[in-house]
Structure 1
Amino acid sequence: MTETDLSHARAVRIERFGGPEVIDLADVAVPAPGAGALLVRTAFASVNPVDWKIAEGKYPPLGKDKLPIVLGRDLSGTVVAVGAGADAQIGDRVCAFIDTDRGAQSTLVILKPGEAVAVPEGVSFEDAGAVPLAAMTAWQGLFDHGGLEAGQSVLIHGGAGGVGHIAVQLAKWKGARVIATASAKDLDFVRSLGADQVVDYKAERFEDVAHDLDMVYDTQGGETQDRSFGVLRKGGILVSTLDPDAAKAEAMGVRTVPRWHASPDAAALRQVIDLMAAGTVKVTIAKAFPLDAIHDAQAFAQHEHPRGKVILTVAPD
């Protein structure tokens, strides 16, 4: 495989489910882009919790029948080939949140028609590769599922995390009052994102601060989610990326939504990229790892509770 070979890629792949040992690098065949599709040389790919959930066999949309699986859902890169009628040109800088039938942690990735979003001047390739999945998880949770509007109040758990630090900024952009939880070392960071109030979750109980809220945005689950129902007003809503307790919500007179997974939405991602270009939304990258250090990257992202995002440096310009 050479730098100019567009028929094969180096990719992070699993052939069976299990622990970190099942994640490996492999040479994979890459098809030519079909009508309207693009072939992109990846510059940066994001590392997300869904990666190790997939590897462990704990992501329901991807079962054994889908093996082998290339990991990764979002990336930035340069267009190196185009299909007939594609709405892009070779050399264009793009980013994307892709569906589960392909993986983004690969030196070459096919983007289907409508998936690519142009990366404008003023937005770095690193940030563009870090943001798509986190931004769509935040956007869809806050706005599509939660219906957050200007003037409402929201509690965002994990305000310094990959999704949380984007959610804080999007909620403030929308005009909401934002309370966020974070560890002591991240309090000032989350305040700098625009949060109106930040709670040290180890030293304070958020229930003592948050009352009669319109919404709770939860990426933590467990006891944190269980305690969160009580801070909502009657008719308020808890939106979680984990299994919500619908029976408890009903008993307490609040709402929730069934478990959901963020899905590609190029129009919404384009709005986030525009907000980044304007300086309204900023992405924090905790650490970047080379592609061949995927095990270190996964371990860091999973166990070190990083501030912001973790990315893979695949083939930067």
Structure 2
Amino acid sequence: MRMISYENFGKASDVLHLSDQDLPAPKRGEVCVELAYSGVNPSDVKARAGSRPGVTKPPFPQIVPHSDGAGVISAVGPGVDTARIGERVWIWNGQWQRAFGTAASHIVLPDEQAVALPDSVSLETGAILGIPGLTAAHTVFGGGEITGQTVVIHGGAGTVGYLAIQLAKWGGAKVITTAHGAGMARCASAGADVVLDYKADDLADQILAANEGDLVTRIIEVEFGQNIATDTAIIAPNGTIAAYGSALNMTPSLPFYPLLFKAVTIDIVLIYLLRKAERIRAIDKLHSALADGALDCPVQKVFGLKDAALAHEAVEAGGRTGAVLINVAG
């Protein structure tokens, strides 16, 4: 199989290498997927760069990066129904706690991590459903149905936020989102009812005014540390803050007393560690929204496998309006 790998942390152009390796046969309970696309996420580039706190060296001697991807099952191991051969699938947790991810022509992994892709859904979209799709679906629906509720989505112009806006609208919620500059129009195009500038000094007051003065029951949070004061002011009693990021402030100070007397649930979301029932629910929501034509998963650019370093650099540059994919056959 052809693959991109690295042995040391560093710049993408310095450490990512294209090579060939024998394709391993799937073991019991495993499938081999011939990949078409690999999705590149911020977590992938941070892992390759060695920027995760406390991690000083790669966890394996050789790493094929990326957790997301889509393709066709080409072989199955003992215990897996042979009818799965030829099935179009998308991948979750491809490189989570494993050495070999999706930046390759093939991947061998447990059967359940290759999810049947609906016939109407493209392989490009399938390669986006792992980290961005599941994160959006779980942060929106992790507490149950949202029909008739108001959901606040911070950072709605980002990849997860853009999907979350669409899912929340499809789920029957009123959606208030925050963004800045050109991102505000992007949020509106995704269907947000109200788009506010996250740099506004009176953001909390603006959110409450947009919700007719009522507190909100669910907040989807990309910058937990930066926004905790605003979130505390606008969250309703027994409400939930579903936080999947806090890059600008990784050691936030919490106003515990106000949060306590609203009995606020803070749901720290790491999509790799979803419980099985939660993951199944998120998958079902994604597939249902796609079937209803309610979910658009834009792609900004597709790179060839040999240009994997450029794909990493595109993600590192930020400001994207869609996913970055690698055509592993290219």
- Same structural fold, with TM-score higher than 0.5 when normalized by the shorter chain: yes
1:25 Cα offset (Å): 2.8
Change (3 A) 1:267 1:61: farther
SS at match of 1:209: helix
What do the CA deviations read for 1:10-36 (whole angstroms, capped 9, x no partner)?
Answer: 223221223333333333443201223
What 5-or-longer segments of structure 2 have no aligned partner?
A: 209-214
Distance 2:22 2:158 in 1: 34
Distance 1:37 1:267 in 2: 23
Change (3 A) 1:72 1:194: same
Give 1:257's match in structure 2, choosing from 259, 266, 286.
Answer: 266
Distance 2:329 2:120 in 1: 20
Distance 2:90 2:23 in 1: 18
Contact 2:301–2:325 (CA<8 Å) still a contact in 1?
yes
Query: Does 2:89 align with 1:94?
Result: yes
Match of 2:47? Answer: 54
Match of 2:59? Answer: 65
Change (3 A) 1:257 1:93: same
What 5-or-longer segments of structure 1 have no aligned partner?
A: 1-8
1:248 Cα offset (Å): 1.5
Give 1:165's match in structure 2, choosing from 150, 156, 162.
Answer: 162
SS at match of 2:108: strand
Give 2:181's match in structure 1, choosing from 158, 180, 184.
Answer: 184
State the one-letter code of the partner of 1:92: E
Give 1:216's match in structure 2, choosing from 208, 215, 219.
Answer: 219
Query: Does 2:299 align with 1:280?
Result: no
1:103 Cα offset (Å): 0.7
Distance 2:52 2:22 in 1: 24
1:42 Cα offset (Å): 0.8
SS at match of 1:184: coil
What do the CA deviations read for 1:191-214 (whole angstroms, capped 9, x no partner)?
Answer: 232211112335675323212221
State the one-letter code of the partner of 2:254: K
Query: Does 2:12 align with 1:17?
Result: no
Match of 1:114? Answer: 112
SS at match of 2:111: coil
Change (3 A) 1:43 1:205: farther
Superposed CA RMSD: 2.7
Q: Alignment length, in residue pairs?
A: 307
Change (3 A) 1:67 1:210: farther
Distance 1:306 1:132 in 2: 18
What do the CA deviations read for 1:51-109 (whole angstroms, capped 9, x no partner)?
Answer: 02211334479864334222111111011112223234332211121251131121101
SS at match of 1:181: strand
State the one-letter code of the partner of 1:285: V
Match of 2:28? Answer: 35
Match of 2:195? Answer: 198
Match of 1:313? Answer: 327
Q: Percent identity?
A: 31
1:256 Cα offset (Å): 4.5
SS at match of 1:46: strand
